[in-house]
């Protein structure tokens, strides 16, 4: 698997040269109170922050393109996507830590019964299944993304994958549309299958060519790759102490 991926990078594709578009453009100080910095994520519990060095494996992101461009951003407009693998390459649950002020408040769960946060009664609140996909939001410039889905969409995809007539997910002639709808305080996602033959007529989208599809597939994650790395023991113990001290 190549080291340099094209996640989030807009690029011309071999089959459509006319559609080519340009790509878009530590030190340590004495700690003050119990406020700590964990690899760029400030944990609140005191007054002024410290700039202590963090742990190397906190919140690593498996992307050469950087975190912001890594993920597929689903909106209210129906978006056509192509799933590249026959299943998720990474599945995990996350704890939500409100005491973290800057950066992501989510912490990857180690899984019961070994997770220190689970052991103190903090329940993992979010499920994630991660798929490599090609976004055809701009049909002329396909872009490779990671699609992080919740439990409802994951179960729908699992049913399709297990169905001999509808699956597998990465069938050459199979595409999907996805959109979200906000209802009061909840967000719902609608997933639909689309046959390759219907793409142009129904969505004005041309299917991916064989060469460009092979190029994207060569850059996919391998099963077991992690989008969000778990904290090490020191990192988990730091958050456990914070939560226990604030209790």
Q: In this predicted model, what pLDDT tens digit does every residue of 25-41 receive, in sequence order?
A: 333 333 222 222 222 22
3 state DSSP class of 127: strand
Q: What is the mean pLDDT of the chain?
A: 75
E strand map for the chain: 36-38, 41-43, 79-83, 90-96, 106-108, 126-135, 143-149, 174-183, 186-195
- pLDDT-derived band of residue 23, with 50, 70 and 90 as boundaries? very low
CA dihedral 221, 129, 58, 216 (to 10 degrees): 20
User: Where along the chain do its domains lie?
Assistant: 17-25+27-246
Residue 24 is encoded by which pair of tokens? 């878009």
Nearest to 76 by CA among 186, 181, 149, 150: 181
Mark residue 121 as left, alpha or beta (left: phi above 0; alpha: psi -120 to 50; beta: remaining). Answer: left
CATH code for the domain defined by 17-25+27-246? 3.90.198
The most confident of the ranges 26-40, 50-64, 173-187 is 173-187
- Average pLDDT of 167-189? 92
DSSP 158: H
């Amino acid at each position: 698997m190549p080291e340099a991926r094209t996640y989030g990078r807009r690029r011309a594709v071999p089959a459509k040269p006319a559609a080519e578009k340009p790509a878009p453009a530590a030190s340590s100080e004495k700690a003050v109170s119990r406020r700590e910095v964990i690899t760029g994520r400030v944990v609140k519990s005191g007054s002024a922050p410290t700039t202590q060095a963090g742990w190397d494996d906190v919140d690593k992101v498996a992307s050469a393109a950087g975190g912001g461009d890594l993920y597929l951003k689903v909106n209210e407009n129906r978006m056509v996507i192509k799933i590249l693998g026959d299943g998720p390459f990474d599945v995990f649950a996350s704890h939500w830590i409100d005491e973290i002020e800057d950066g992501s408040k989510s912490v990857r769960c180690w899984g019961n019964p070994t997770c220190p946060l689970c052991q103190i009664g903090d329940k993992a609140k979010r499920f994630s299944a991660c798929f490599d996909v090609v976004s055809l939001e701009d049909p002329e410039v396909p872009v490779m993304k990671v699609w992080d889905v919740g439990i409802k969409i994951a179960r729908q995809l699992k049913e399709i994958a297990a169905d001999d007539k509808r699956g597998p997910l990465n069938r050459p002639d199979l595409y999907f549309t996805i959109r979200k709808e906000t209802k009061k305080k909840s967000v719902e996602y609608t997933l639909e299958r689309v046959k390759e033959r219907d793409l142009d007529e129904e969505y004005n989208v041309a299917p991916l060519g064989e060469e460009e599809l092979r190029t994207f597939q060569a850059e996919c994650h391998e099963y077991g790759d992690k989008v969000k790395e778990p904290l090490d023991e020191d990192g988990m113990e730091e958050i456990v102490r914070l939560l226990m001290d604030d209790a």
